[in-house]
Chain A
Amino acid sequence: MSKKEIKVKNYIIKTAADFFAPIGLILGIYVILHGHLSPGGGFQGGVLVASAAVLIYLGYGYEKATKTLNVNLLKKSESIAALMYSFFALLGIFYAANFCRNVFYNVGKPGDLFSSGTIFLMNFAVGYKVLTGIGFLILLMFGLLNNEEA
């Protein structure tokens, strides 16, 4: 991504987007991964990650945002994430408990990142689904906005 190709109208917004998008991504992923240890979780973290898509749109415009983010991949990922969630939730049934039951919960030391069994993976699946779903929706809505202007 060489800087000459990018046409931007407002350097303040672009600079702010450059600065905040990585923070949004890192914070979002942190919140998703630490859902079982700290406040927040899959949904909140997913929305934070998806806010990076908004920042890219604001800083660089719609075309750059659709080039950076593969809309079809987002759509497919959402279904894959939903299937992941169903699979981890069904693990509860395979391990002789109920649907959505947290299994392998006594692996690792309490307080560590990998210490909570499948609830961690379910949380991750929710986060993945929300970040792809909301990212896709945001791009879709901005696409509609663009069409109206043209």
Chain B
Amino acid sequence: MTQHLPILAIISLFIGAFIVSLIKEKNTTLRNTVVLIVTFASLIFTLMMYKPIIEEGNVLTYWMGNWEPVQNWAIGIGLEVDQLSLFFGLFISLSIVLSAMYSFKYIENETGKDKYYVLFLMMSASVMGFIFTGDLFNMYVMIEIMTFASVALTAFRNNRPEAVEAGFKYIAIGSIGSSLILLATVILYAQFHTLNLAQLAGEMYNNYTVASIFALALMIVGYAVKVFAVPTHFVAPDAYMAAPSSISMLFSGIVNKAAVYGILRIIYVVYQSMNLPTMQFLLIFWGTVTMFVGVTMALAQHDFKRLLAFHSISQIGYVITGIGLTTALGITGGLYHALNHTLFKGLLFLCAGAVFYATGTTDLDKLGGLAKRMPQTAFIFLIGAFSISGIPPFNGFVSKWIIYQATYEAGYAPVTIVALLVSVMTLASFIKVAQSAFFGQLPKEFKNVEEVPLSMRVPMWIMAILCVIGGIVPNIVTKYLVTPAANAVMNASRYVEAMMGKEFASKFYNNLGSAPVIDYKLAGYWQPISWLILFGVLLLAFTLVAVLGGFNPKHFSYADEEDAKYDVFFSGESSEFSHVAGSDLFWGLKYQFRHYFDFMHNIHSGIVNDYALSVVFTAAVILLYVFTFVR
């Protein structure tokens, strides 16, 4: 039974997609039941793999149709699940379940729900397939299904012109990325006559050819397009903004993470190129630029979801920096941050969706004061905002702290400084969101908005609780999830040995079975319990002041309250509505850096030709870099 779990986790979602396409659109109950059953089944199959893989440390291999390798030559398609795959698989299948639960109410009033769930399940299934496969061409097929399902879901609200436009941009840019990956796959197949990742890894160990280096550059750029690293990120804000929030959550939570997994698998396991300082520098530099540009663009946004999209880019920069360090601490930090990013960014997108569901807009200049009407959403949003800004005792702090330490230890002190700055700016922009969406004055058209239904709040609460857990018990999370995955990243020979057998692996690797033990200690001054107590005390004090009326200025009221016309005097300062809108905050910063922001606004032109050009430019630069420096 155990060896069938990966294929069952993938195929249950695919079967769900095919069944849903047979159900009539009006039959909501049946469709929701099917979606819930298959997503839960996939989660359970993934959870069942935890014990054999992470706890006992096995690597699960599976040959489709029993086509096992003949004379050390892999002819069949294989699935291979090691700790790294399972680490990604666990939180990906969890976010699929949560997003499905959230969708039931969220898209209740939209048309085309049947197509939504077909595409939703197709995208989820392809990501699961991408994570669990051990075959290079399978990876390409899955990423292509993923891209096309994402494109269709981006354009789901096709009554809005910007959604259709974003879908078109996404398909153009995404196809360029996929084509690069396909070209690299073809080159590797022509060179080594195999598509199996493990066999490729063995053949390429210390044996680079010109063609394989060319393929490496194309692979990196192809997956960078999927991960939205900076010069290729332009399409991301448009797509995230136009898609429904439950899908934006999956874009940042699973589609992006799949691409991060792809980068890790290709450069660490297949190419084993990360012992080269030039490759490390490439990823660290790229990640640092990505995090900086993402957060500065986020500061200037006035749309809730667009702001979150830029933050998504910025946080992925942390992940890339972390995995580029190649030290045990760096990979641990990168992987931990990938997990945390899925949790808190999914949470924030769901909050944006809740705001949209309740008010019909995500424009921060129009929103305000929603905490009074939607207290739970506001509270959950604060947890998400604290997590992403790296405030103890939430999970973002832990992973960011590990990344600061790792960058400093590895001698990249400037990167540490940039990372700290980015974290501060993240906090600043979330203060802006909190202030202009949830606090401040409640505009009168939103006086009657209501809290979102329970089925939308439950996924948000689950993610919020996981965010807190990840921050309070980081040593448990690292011990039982992240460290095994980091070990798997650093031990490519074990991957090869599990898939192709000892005889094949010993041809290339001398020291089989000796995994580099990660000397991991949460160095620093991290005492989660005392931070939690401090946070609790502050929260108590805050609540006390709030209850006593300290934050409740009475001197602002609406000019046209019901009873205003019966007042004798109703004009004057007290009746003026002076809402501090989202764009008003940080105007000084925006003014001081106006040249930078002008430049950035100009290059985010919205013209798909420019975006495509930037991808091609990136490909050219990376090709030059890789051919010059990587040997």
Contacts and interface: CB of A to CB of B under 8 A. Distances in A.
Contact of B66 (A75, A76, A98): A98
A100 B64 contact: yes
B117 interface: no
B18 interface: yes
19 contacts: A75-B21, A76-B21, A76-B22, A78-B21, A79-B21, A80-B22, A83-B19, A86-B11, A86-B15, A86-B18, A97-B66, A98-B63, A98-B66, A99-B7, A99-B65, A100-B65, A101-B65, A101-B66, A102-B65
B11 to A, nearest CB: 6
Interface residues on B, range: 10 to 19
A100 B63 CA distance: 9
B18 A83 contact: yes
A80 B22 CA distance: 8
A69 interface: no
A79 to B, nearest CB: 4
A86 B14 contact: yes
Secondary structure type dominating chain B contacts:
helix
Given A79-B21, A79-B22, A80-B22, A99 B14 contact: no
B62 A98 contact: yes
B353 to A, nearest CB: 29
Given A76-B22, A82-B18, A92 B11 contact: no
A93 interface: yes
B84 to A, nearest CB: 22
A76 to B, nearest CB: 6
A75 B114 CA distance: 13
Given A86-B15, A99-B64, A100-B64, 14 more contacts: A76-B21, A76-B22, A79-B19, A80-B22, A83-B22, A86-B18, A90-B11, A92-B65, A93-B8, A98-B3, A98-B4, A99-B7, A99-B62, A99-B65
A21 B7 CA distance: 40
A74 to B, nearest CB: 12
Contacts of A75: 21
B148 to A, nearest CB: 14
Contacts of A83: 15, 18-19, 22
Interface in A78-118: 78-80, 82-83, 86, 89-90, 92-93, 97-102
Interface string B1-34: 0011001100100110011011000000000000
Contacts of A79: 18-19, 21-22
Interface of B: 3-4, 7-8, 11, 14-15, 18-19, 21-22, 62-66
Nearest to B23: A79
B224 to A, nearest CB: 32
A82 B145 CA distance: 15
Nearest to A97: B66
Interface of A: 75-76, 78-80, 82-83, 86, 89-90, 92-93, 97-102
A75 B24 CA distance: 12
Secondary structure type dominating chain A contacts:
helix
List 9 tightest A-B contacts by C-beta distance, closest first: A100-B65, A79-B21, A82-B18, A99-B7, A79-B18, A100-B64, A101-B65, A83-B18, A98-B66
A123 to B, nearest CB: 13
A104 to B, nearest CB: 14
Contacts of B21: 75-76, 78-79
Contacts of B19: 79, 83
Contacts of B65: 92, 97-102
Contacts of B66: 97-98, 101
A102 B3 CA distance: 18
A101 B64 CA distance: 7
B14 A93 contact: no
A114 B13 CA distance: 32
A100 B67 CA distance: 10
Contacts of A82: 14, 18
A76 B22 CA distance: 6
A89 B4 CA distance: 12
A90 B22 CA distance: 20
Contacts of A76: 21-22
A99 B22 contact: no
Given A98-B63, A99-B64, A93 B22 contact: no
Nearest to A100: B65
A76 B26 CA distance: 16
A85 to B, nearest CB: 9
Interface centre among A79, A82, A98, A100 (most CB of B within 10 A): A98
Contacts of A90: 11
A93 B4 contact: yes
Contacts of B63: 98
A112 B22 CA distance: 35
Nearest to B7: A99
Nearest to B68: A98
Nearest to B4: A93
A48 to B, nearest CB: 24
Nearest to A85: B18
B15 A98 contact: no
Contacts of B4: 93, 98-99
Nearest to B63: A98
B432 to A, nearest CB: 45
A99 B11 contact: yes
Interface centre among B7, B19, B65 (most CB of A within 10 A): B65
Nearest to B65: A100
A113 B19 CA distance: 30
